[in-house]
Structure 1
Amino acid sequence: MYAETMRIRLRVKELAEAKEMSMTRLHIRSEVAYNTIRRIFRNPYAEVTTTTLERLASALGVAPSELIEDVEDAEEKP
């Protein structure tokens, strides 16, 4: 089953770091709660709304689809 082998991973932290954008700056530009951004940075598998994705994508200057990727569960295990 798809849900057992694939997970959606958020790439927010990587893209923010590539653009040298801190969590605070991302919070201000996106108007997404700082605690939500911190949660996403700490856990790239956190659940978020499409509105949050749209705001983060806009603040980062990317398409919302660039913020997510499918990864196999096996990849995250050591």
Structure 2
Amino acid sequence: MLQENFELIESIVLNLGLLILFMLMGYAVHDVLSKNDVPKVGRYVTYGVLFLGAAGFIAKGIIQIFWQSSGFN
């Protein structure tokens, strides 16, 4: 295989791993919040923080795509 294929596979596996990680964290947070009767405001704040963490990784990926398409490595 060529080096480009290894890099492509590595980036796909990394992104899928991060997606699975955030899904598991969301499930764990949901489980803890539902077992401890957390008020709605606390749930919204907790899910918001988890979403912002995931959005940071999404923004990083989008910025990286634009950065690489403009010729910078």
TM-score (norm 1): 0.29
Task: Identify the structure with the greater strand proportion.
Answer: 1
Structure with the greater alpha carbon radius of gyration: 2
TM-score (norm 2): 0.30
Q: Using CA pairs below 8 Å that are at least 6 residues apart, which structure has the higher relative contact order?
A: 1
Task: Identify the structure with the greater helix proportion.
Answer: 2
